[in-house]
Structure 1
Amino acid sequence: MPGGGAGQGGRLDSGKLGGSRLIYHLVESLKGPLEETGLIRILQVVFQVEFRAFLAVLVSFGLVLAFGRPVIRWLLRQKVGDSPEFHNADLNDLMRSRAGTPTMGGILICGSILITILLLAELRSRYIHLAIAVLVAYSVLGMFDDWLKLTSARRTPGSRDGLLPWEKLLFQLGLAALFSWVIFTQATVNPIGGVGAQAEIWQDSARVLNLPFQKTWDTPVETDPFADGEETMFGLPLNPGVMVLGLGGFVLLGTLVIAGTSNAVNISDGMDGLAAGVVGFAAVAFMILVHIAGSQVEAQSLLVPHVPGTADLMVVAGAMIGACLGFLWFNSSPAMVFMGDTGSLALGGLLGYLAVAIRQEALLVLIGGIFFLEMGSVVLQVGWFKFTRIRTGKGRRLLRCSPIHHHFHLGGWSEQQVVTRFWLITIVLSMAAFALVKLR
């Protein structure tokens, strides 16, 4: 199993230490005293990836709580408060209390995730390098957009009020395409422990088009729970009906998923606690899915893709959970701070990256159903308005207002009701996703 901390004779596995080899050699030099005191067993647990993932939740949560108020005070001094304006007088009345609340709070989320990854993840892993790159790139893009919008009034009249929609989309797509290409190249690297034909099978498994109900592996295998599962599962072939994506198809799908999820989370960030809560619940689901994908035994038992080297992405998912929970401390209604594009673009991009890396794009659409419902409601509203204006000369709307959380708000739901119900829907959708995995 990945992350199983010890080797024979009480020797720690340096590949499981989640950091510098210096720590490994330090522990090895102290092995005698550690074995005498029994502390070696504690270290074996501490170095397991599952433990580090749960520790990441606590660390990132604590970091947001520790730095939350100082960062909020700094944002207030910078006068980067939100001034929401909508093309709907009733909605402006409902959201009037949000005026002046500092935004760009996403620096809290992204900063705590980054620090937690650097502290607890395996920094020699290419998948961890990519996670850091996605986090930093999308947070910088969002921060630049936020800063332009929030400081335009203080700059020369006529200055840019944020990035133009096509500019932001172009950056998102370009970054997503680049990251998807790197994921593809990483998937073709000979995995550790893979030999000959088995290595080729694992490389193909990391590039499959993973569809609901489709078995990735050819035959289900029943294993003895008391036997060495890795030996029993070794050599299981891919299902001949599975499609292994080439470079073009992989990059196209990855670009749509990463950029699309980034946009969807960004659109959903319109109520106190909505985006942070839904992302937090989705990250819980993906921490479990990453654990499955990173373990050959678990992946082949459940007939889903096995992607060698992804186990440490559990730490990334754990950091996302903790950061979102910590941010909710300040973002729950009435919010003291908003995440802005700085947080929403980065969280969405990181969630999309996890899905692409472990080949669970279809389950992302289900687990993140709220995000894609929000994005779809905007597309349908705009599209229907333009269509009816062409046909009848007067544009009509499908919803009272889009995104759809405003539709329910204008329909009589309180902001807290909308947020809580969307959280509950995400939990139910996550359970449905696990049921789909098991049904294979």
Structure 2
Amino acid sequence: MLYYLFRFLEQFGISGSHIWGYISFRALLALILSLTISAWFGEHFIKYLKKKQITETQRDASIDPFGVKKIGVPSMGGVIIIVAILIPVLLLGRLRNIYLILMMVTTLWLGFLGGMDDYIKIFKRNKDGLKGKYKIIGQVGIGLIVGITLWASPDVKINENLAIEQQNGQEVVIKHRPEARKSLKTTIPFVKGHNFDYSWFTKWMGPYRSAAAWVLFVIITIFIVTAVSNGANLNDGMDGMCAGNSAIIGVALGILAYVSSHINFAAYLNIMFIPGSQELVVFFCAFVGALIGFLWYNAYPAQIFMGDTGSLTIGGIIGVGAIIIHKELLLPILCGIFFVESLSVIMQVYYYKLGKHRGVKQRIFKRTPIHDAFRTQDSQLDPDCKYLIKAPHTPKHESKITIRFWIITIILAALTIITLKIR
């Protein structure tokens, strides 16, 4: 809103109005504003939740070797994150931008879905929360909306890879395709040209190749949004864990969005130039600011939990943001922590069921998601169960595990950005 106001005032020559046209100014202002809102609103929101006794049912204290009992801690802290994201974006973003609209719809949609889950856990005293099938339906729904919108919207276009060449001693941007157009290409790491075209899978379909490829793209979009959303949800098991990891991932996506929206940087890195994606920089700055402000209260010992209201929303934002800037195939690296958390649960369940059919009680890890294995004592294990991996034998404190996971995510984020130059 403020963007449009000051752009209007610029027509009358009012000093300083032009600065609102700079993406760097609006992005950094969004970061500061979201952090401030998150910290200020968080304090009042926590007091309100405590007054109304809106707290989560006690988490499993048996897995904490240090005996920390998290009773009476308010949940639904994701509301703080959502409010701190949306207000700066509404004030500072270009609200007619299709990418910004998709990000806001994703935030509200998954925020509502996670809120329903937290409502059932808190008010209905049902620790299982919303049934899994309804969560999946909600995640598939937003993935379908995003995929179809990117397919159908005329505003979603890219310029394929650009390159800078030397002509008469000067650097000149060479466009491989002079016009912006719809494309099914996405960035793939470690490959010259960085591009992979989804229509490669459907080339055997002749005249239906393009339509089939877009259907495939929608399916992949649904899978990515669901997978990353659930990965973030599984990662939300320790104070500050998910918020810190997601803030780091948000910084990396903000950088990727910026270079994708800047014609010279896109040319230098030989990646797709995506007009309009600069508004995602504003969104991701607000996203990072909201998470850092939330960490003020969520860091160990937590004064509030984000709940599914926060974790499902965070994962969805990351997934949709990566898809919009055609960097979804970099997510296994960037969101490596989420990927490992999800994989550990899948492996554990499969291995346990495999043993159950043979009458053997067996597990791979001491506990899953994998972060729980690092704080579980050997004395807490089932003596009748066979474990493939019992390490570590000395349990780690929750805050140490959290910070070490942050460090790993920082390394993965750096590797993700470096892949743009490794080919």
TM-score, length-normalised on structure 2? 0.84
Aligned residue type for 2:396: W
Structure 1 residues 363, 399: CA separation in 2 closer, same or farther (over 3 Å shift)? Answer: same
Cα offsets for 1:152-199 (capped at 9, x unmatched): 14xxxxx8952111221121112212212112223775679xx99633
Do the aligned partners of 1:191 and 1:309 also contact (CA within 8 Å) in 2? no
Partner of 1:198: 178
Shift in Å, 1:75: 1.2
Aligned residue type for 1:19: Y
SS at match of 2:232: helix
Cα offsets for 1:266-310 (capped at 9, x unmatched): 111010000000000000011100001112322232122222211
Structure 2 residue runs of 5 or longer lacking an equivalent are 160-174, 200-209, 377-391
Partner of 1:424: 407
SS at match of 1:379: helix
1:405 aligns with 2:378: no
Do the aligned partners of 2:228 and 2:316 also contact (CA within 8 Å) in 1? yes
Task: Map residues 315-354 of structure 1 onto 2, 5 A cutoff.
Answer: 315-354=282-321
Choose from 100, 104, 109 the match for 2:76: 104
Do the aligned partners of 1:18 and 1:49 also contact (CA within 8 Å) in 2? no
1:179 aligns with 2:146: yes
In 2, Cα distance between the equivalents of 1:137 and 1:149? 19
1:54 aligns with 2:28: yes
Choose from 181, 186, 189 the match for 1:209: 186
Task: Map residues 70-219 of structure 1 onto 2, 5 A cutoff.
Answer: 70-86=44-60, 90-91=62-63, 94=66, 96-153=68-125, 162-186=129-153, 189=156, 198-199=178-179, 202-204=181-183, 207-216=184-193
Aligned residue type for 2:27: A
Structure 1 residues 182, 395: CA separation in 2 closer, same or farther (over 3 Å shift)? Answer: farther
In 1, Cα distance between the equivalents of 2:59 and 2:298? 20
Do the aligned partners of 1:267 and 1:375 also contact (CA within 8 Å) in 2? yes
Aligned residue type for 2:92: L
Cα offsets for 1:24-71 (capped at 9, x unmatched): 232221x1xx4xxxx44xx43443112211111111000011111110
Aligned residue type for 1:422: F
Structure 1 residues 375, 191: CA separation in 2 closer, same or farther (over 3 Å shift)? Answer: closer
Do the aligned partners of 1:19 and 1:123 also contact (CA within 8 Å) in 2? no
Partner of 1:371: 338
Structure 1 residues 24, 79: CA separation in 2 closer, same or farther (over 3 Å shift)? Answer: same
Partner of 1:229: none
Partner of 2:264: 297
Segment drifting more, 307-316 vs 182-191: 182-191
Partner of 2:168: none
Aligned residue type for 2:141: G
Identity of aligned residues (%): 31
Structure 1 residues 307, 147: CA separation in 2 closer, same or farther (over 3 Å shift)? Answer: same
Partner of 2:384: none
Do the aligned partners of 1:64 and 1:326 also contact (CA within 8 Å) in 2? yes
TM-score, length-normalised on structure 1? 0.81
In 1, Cα distance between the equivalents of 2:157 and 2:117? 40
Aligned residue type for 1:76: K
In 2, Cα distance between the equivalents of 1:189 and 1:357? 9
In 2, Cα distance between the equivalents of 1:190 and 1:370? 31
Segment drifting more, 173-182 vs 319-328: 173-182
Task: Map residues 388-399 of structure 1 onto 2, 5 A cutoff.
Answer: 388-390=355-357, 392-399=358-365
In 1, Cα distance between the equivalents of 2:78 and 2:127? 21
Structure 1 residues 95, 298: CA separation in 2 closer, same or farther (over 3 Å shift)? Answer: farther
Partner of 1:28: 11
In 1, Cα distance between the equivalents of 2:317 and 2:218? 16
Cα offsets for 1:300-344 (capped at 9, x unmatched): 321222222111100111011100100000001110000000011
Aligned residue type for 1:49: I
Do the aligned partners of 1:216 and 1:305 also contact (CA within 8 Å) in 2? no
Choose from 382, 398, 412 the match for 1:415: 398
Do the aligned partners of 1:18 and 1:122 also contact (CA within 8 Å) in 2? no
Structure 1 residue runs of 5 or longer lacking an equivalent are 1-16, 154-158, 218-238
1:286 aligns with 2:253: yes
Do the aligned partners of 1:262 and 1:348 also contact (CA within 8 Å) in 2? yes
SS at match of 1:203: coil
Partner of 2:205: none
Structure 1 residues 160, 366: CA separation in 2 closer, same or farther (over 3 Å shift)? Answer: closer
Aligned residue type for 1:132: M
In 2, Cα distance between the equivalents of 1:73 and 1:352? 32
In 2, Cα distance between the equivalents of 1:179 and 1:414? 40
Aligned residue type for 2:246: V
Aligned residues: 379
Structure 1 residues 197, 341: CA separation in 2 closer, same or farther (over 3 Å shift)? Answer: same
Aligned residue type for 1:395: K
Structure 1 residues 191, 400: CA separation in 2 closer, same or farther (over 3 Å shift)? Answer: closer
In 1, Cα distance between the equivalents of 2:313 and 2:112? 8
Do the aligned partners of 2:78 and 2:310 also contact (CA within 8 Å) in 1? yes
Partner of 2:165: none
Partner of 2:3: 19
